[in-house]
Structure 1
Amino acid sequence: MNELSQEDFASLLAFRTGLRRYLRWSETRVREAGLTPAQHQLLLAIKGHGPRVAPTVGELAGYLLLRHHSTVELIDRAERAGLVRRGRDAEDNRVIRVSLTPAADRVLSELTRLHLAELQSLAPILERLSAELRHLENPHPG
């Protein structure tokens, strides 16, 4: 690997600053919508899991990088808030699956539209950083 340049440090700083701004922006939008950031992540994990079958608690814990019991507590709070519901798996009655309520689905859809639009502003920084990382890996192409 080549010697790091001042540009390398500046690019990483720009990326991390942009990412932190995005996360702060996201937390503000989520709170304005009446959710906590953790609830938003939970709803996104449920919806992002896919349409075929709702995720299990264990799958959600994996997406959220939480321990099983912490995920259960988060689901409990979200259920009390009317955001999610639990149900038994159709094929294995021992398995609990978690799905969104219609109200949570509407809130998440609106938040996702806002988030995807905001991510467009980070695209130039990500593209520049990616190009610079490729250059670091292969400084003399050909």
Structure 2
Amino acid sequence: MSTSDESDAKVSPRHVSDGDYAKLLAIRTALRGFEQWSADRATEQGITARQHQLLLAIRGHAGDTAPTVQDVANYLFIQHHSAVELIDRAVRSGLVRRTTDQQDHRVVRLVVSPQGQDILEGLSGSHLLELAQLASLFEVLHDVSDAPARDER
């Protein structure tokens, strides 16, 4: 995700039409709806939405080695100490295991436990289907040409 920076200030302003506002609302509503839907599915599996995100961050990590606490913190957009607390709870729940890095024994790496993997697999299939529907909404919103503004203020 990007945040505002100097490059954003260089973009020339344009008129935001009623259609633009409607698109933005539709997208934000769909994203928030997905987040709520996802949280409900996690709860049904006996975990929190944050634990689901943690499992996905660990399992989805690309690379030759398992992710570190800092990797997970970056994926979840949280501070290191918050990631540690989340991981501690996940370890106590049997969802995640800590391992020592083979090359640098000071580094702790994270792996999803078999129990966590079962839960994550159960959630991931339905999430992929739901995301496919959400993606189609983005395509429709992107492909629709702007109708003339209803109100030219």
> TM over 0.5: same fold?
yes
Of 89, 103, 106, the residue aligned with 2:115 is: 103
Contact 1:39 1:74 in 2 (8 A): yes
Of 10, 35, 51, the residue aligned with 2:22 is: 10
Instruction: Tell me, yes or no, if structure 1 residue 126 matches structure 2 residue 145.
Output: no
Aligned to 2:100: 88
Q: What's the offset of the Cα at 1:58?
A: 1.1
Instruction: Tell me, yes or no, if structure 1 residue 72 matches structure 2 residue 64.
Output: no
Instruction: Tell me, yes or no, if structure 1 residue 38 matches structure 2 residue 50.
Output: yes
Query: TM-score, length-normalised on structure 2?
Result: 0.81
Q: What's the offset of the Cα at 1:131?
A: 4.1
Aligned to 1:139: none
The amino acid that maps onto 2:101 is D
Measure the CA separation in 1 of the matches of 2:14 and 2:81: 45
Instruction: Tell me, yes or no, if structure 1 residue 20 matches structure 2 residue 32.
Output: yes
Q: Which moved more, 1:66-75 or 1:89-98?
A: 66-75
Q: What's the offset of the Cα at 1:28?
A: 0.4
Measure the CA separation in 2 of the matches of 1:57 and 1:123: 30
The amino acid that maps onto 2:113 is T
Query: TM-score, length-normalised on structure 1?
Result: 0.87
The amino acid that maps onto 1:34 is G
Aligned length: 134
SS at match of 2:47: coil
Measure the CA separation in 2 of the matches of 1:70 and 1:20: 23
% identical equivalent positions = 49
SS at match of 1:98: strand
- Cα shift readout 1:62-81 (whole Å, capped 9, x = no counterpart): 11111111111111100000
1:96–1:45 Cα change, 3 Å: same
- Cα shift readout 1:12-46 (whole Å, capped 9, x = no counterpart): 11111111111111110010011101101110000
Gaps of at least 5 residues in structure 2 are 1-12, 147-153
Measure the CA separation in 2 of the matches of 1:17 and 1:101: 34
Q: Which has the higher contact order (CA 8 A, sep 6+)?
A: 1
